[in-house]
Amino acid sequence: MAQSLSSSGGPSPRTAFVLAGGGSLGAVEVGMLQALLTWGETPAFLVGASAGAINATYFAAEPTYARTENLARLWCALKRRDVLPFSLLGILRRRGHLVESDALRRLLERHLPYQQLEHAALPVHIVASDMLTGHEVVLSSGSVIDAVLASAAIPGVFPPVQIGSQWLVDGGVANNTPISTAMNLGATRIVVLPTGFACALSRPPSGTIARAMHALSLLVSRQLAHDAERFAGTHVQLRIVPSLCPLNISSYDYSAAVSLIAQARASTQQWLAAGGFEQDWVPGQLQDHHHG
């Protein structure tokens, strides 16, 4: 089959959008998506991990701007209890995790119109981690609900998900911003949508789950910065949308989606207008820093 040509006369790049995890900060990816679509960006496929898996599978059902508006409404109506219904009884029972995934499963079942990953309108690949080995597991077919639950199963917070013979947990354990996954799937141009991290908190988050999620978001950003440097100079064009900074919203705080989406859309529009896609650099927002 003949390849399409870019305006420069060469083969058009095969673009992948990579959506990272980050708990409630996953809302920023909605604003980024809206800005990218308005700019005319259309991915050939999506790769998502953790919260990014939720956004990726929802958008993949109908990859249009209207779908991102629906996703924005979903995020803005979301309450912490819709995802993390904490139960003291669960701790007392010593079941090995703090939160059951039933609430998140029901949320996904209500809003995802397809049951199998391979039935998405836009190809979507979900990254999880093998709980025994820590190795990355890429899910491209099978139950979309199970794939998302596995990718979002923060160890100790949510229960692991069994798919086939493997017990799977959060994609962040192995590869929470799966640039290498997109490369292996054939992308020649990768656009990363990072959630960033709360760099302007005045004090550490309170509570076991909040602190675990904050620590994971720090790990994700540092890994992304490392991977960006690692893949610099390869045959793949890598562009990372700058995350919000300074940011004083915890990844456990689900009350700020309206503001996060609006800010991310505006900042991404500014980045694009300033020639963001022409710049091959790692945004400073992902580097290790803190606002006193």
User: Mind listing the pLDDT tens digit for each residue in 160-211?
Assistant: 999 999 999 988 777 667 899 999 999 999 999 999 888 888 888 887 788 8
Rounded to an integer, what distance in angstroms lies between the CA atom of residue 147 and that of residue 104?
Answer: 12
Q: What is the pTM of this model?
A: 0.90
Let me know if 253 is a catalytic residue: no
| Tens digit of each residue's pLDDT (9 = 90 or more) over 1-13 | 233 334 445 567 9
pLDDT tens-digit series, residues 76-91: 999 998 988 765 445 5
Catalytic one of 24, 50, 217, 250: 50
Identify the CA nearest to 242 among candidates 192, 180, 292: 192
CA distance 59 to 66: 10
What's the CA gap between 243 and 202, in Å, rounded? 19
Name the residue with higher pLDDT: 214 or 262.
Answer: 262
pLDDT of the residue at 176: 62
Angle at 77 between CA 81 and CA 124, to 5 degrees: 90
When pLDDT is averaged across residues 117-124 and rounded to a whole number, the result is 98
Predicted confidence (pLDDT) per residue in 40-66, tens digit? 999 999 999 999 999 999 999 999 999
Task: Tell me the pLDDT band of 280, cut-offs 50, 70 and 90.
Answer: confident
Q: How much helix, strand and coil, in percent to the nearest 5, is found in the chain?
A: 45, 15, 40
Catalytic-residue membership of 170: yes
140 or 23: whose pLDDT is higher? 140
Residue among 170, 227, 253, 267 flagged as catalytic: 170
Place of tokens 């799966």: 178
| 235-253 mean pLDDT | 91
In the prediction, which pLDDT does 3 show? 35
Q: Over the stretch 131-161, which tens digit does the pLDDT of each residue have?
A: 999 899 999 999 999 999 999 998 888 999 9
Strand positions, DSSP E, the chain: 15-19, 45-49, 124-130, 136-139, 161-163, 166-169, 189-193, 237-240
Beta-sheet pairing, 161-163 with 45-49: unpaired
Q: Which of 85, 38, 80 is nearest to 271 (CA)?
A: 38
Can you give the pLDDT at residue 228? 78
User: Given this model, what pLDDT does residue 4 score?
Assistant: 37
